[in-house]
Amino acid sequence: MPDGSTPTSRRSVVVSEFTNSVLDPQAPMLGPIENGGTIIANTAPGCWGPMITPRLRGGHEVTTPVFVQGAEVGDAVAIRIRDITVTSIATASGHDSSPEGFCLGDPYVAARCPVCDTVWPETHVEGIGQDAVKCDACGNAVKPFEIVH
């Protein structure tokens, strides 16, 4: 482990947390996992994740890193995917744009409600379509992106 301790490694680790798109070498890692062990990870919903899940703050979210017992700086890790389970049938495709007022700068990392001015507002889904994600505070549609084409 980066802090010098040597906890007992496990055969498998479940990863269910994300990093808000920031990989910090000083941040705690999960594990340690045995060399050859199994990582079970639930991944984030891609670039549109922050739009529909405001607790995800990064446009290209990654899972919390896992420390592999015996790994050293510069080592390579081979990953073999055993199984993928699709957990959502929702999808969007096309060219997007950022509507005026729905973010403070980068829409991937700075969402805001243009009506009540709440940054990273909690949301709920009401209806279907691009305006279905609503701000919990004021009920306004909150969408850092629109599909143009």
Return d(Cα 104, Cα 134) in angstroms, integer.
18
pLDDT at 85: 84
If asked whether residues 74 and 22 sit together in one domain, one would say yes
Mean pLDDT per 10-residue interval, the chain, length 149 residues: 68 86 84 92 68 63 87 88 79 74 76 88 85 91 77
Q: Quote the pTM value.
A: 0.61
The domain containing residue 71 runs over which residues? 1-91
Q: Which two tokens mark 118?
A: 């709440």
CA-to-CA distance for 69 and 71, rounded, in angstroms? 6
Q: Dihedral sign, CA of 69, 70, 74, 78?
A: negative
Which residues are registered as beta bridge partners of 14? 40
Same domain, 24 and 83: yes
Residues 73 and 100 both lie in one domain? no
Chosen domain end from 67, 91, 115:
91
Please count the structural domains in the chain. 2
Question: What's the CA gap between 2 and 92, in Å, rounded?
Answer: 40
